[in-house]
């Protein structure tokens, strides 16, 4: 009584680790924690993964945290396994070549990207493009008078993987 949610989470995690168990199951392990404790818990989970002494099963909706600590993923939607395997392999298989492009004038860039799968956001344009086609795209934009401020490869995220695999209704999408 009198402990915050975050403190209860930390106490529960500490209790789980007593006696060096072979396996622990954590449900939303950083829920209710302050940012500095979230970082500490993620570091602890990474450490447990590296030593290999304790198998840690984490259930979480915070996919960016799962991506930071997991090496294997089982994606369950509506009680069904929709995807499983080593996280690095799963992200690599589905990532494709994605780039973030920030350039102006916007209208010129939009015209140049008409045949390139892309999504426009406040940060610029997210492109799906094969690596060997990037130099030609950049050269074409510059030739047409565009100013390129940034072009960088985007790392595939677990959230992207979830959205493309489970879809909005939990049905695997190819």
Domains in the chain, CATH or no CATH each: 5-70 (3.40.50.300), 97-155 (3.30.70.100)
Q: What is the pLDDT of residues 10-51, one digit of tens each?
A: 899 899 999 889 999 999 999 888 999 999 999 999 998 889
pLDDT of residue 173: 30
pTM for the full predicted model: 0.62
Q: Which of 100, 106, 69, 104 is nearest to 87 (CA)?
A: 69
Measured distance CA(173)–CA(80) in Å, rounded? 14
Task: Specify the DSSP element, H or E, that contains 119.
Answer: strand 118-121
Between 123 and 118, residue with greater pLDDT: 118
């Amino acid at each position: 009584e009198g402990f915050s949610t975050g403190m209860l989470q930390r106490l529960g995690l500490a209790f789980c680790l007593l006696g060096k168990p072979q396996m622990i199951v954590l449900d939303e392990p950083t829920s209710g924690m302050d940012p500095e404790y979230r970082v500490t818990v993620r570091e602890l989970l990474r450490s447990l993964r590296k030593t290999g002494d304790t198998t840690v099963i984490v259930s979480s909706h915070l996919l960016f945290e799962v991506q930071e600590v997991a090496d294997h993923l089982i994606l369950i939607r509506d009680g069904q396994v929709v995807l499983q395997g080593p996280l690095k392999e799963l992200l690599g298989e589905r990532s494709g070549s994605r780039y973030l492009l920030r350039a102006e004038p916007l209208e010129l860039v939009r015209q140049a990207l008409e045949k390139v799968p892309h999504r426009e956001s406040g940060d610029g344009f997210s492109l799906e493009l094969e690596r060997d086609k990037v130099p030609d795209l950049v050269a074409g934009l510059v030739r047409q008078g565009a100013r390129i401020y940034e072009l960088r490869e985007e790392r595939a995220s677990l959230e992207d993987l979830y959205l493309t695999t489970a879809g909005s209704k939990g049905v695997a999408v190819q």
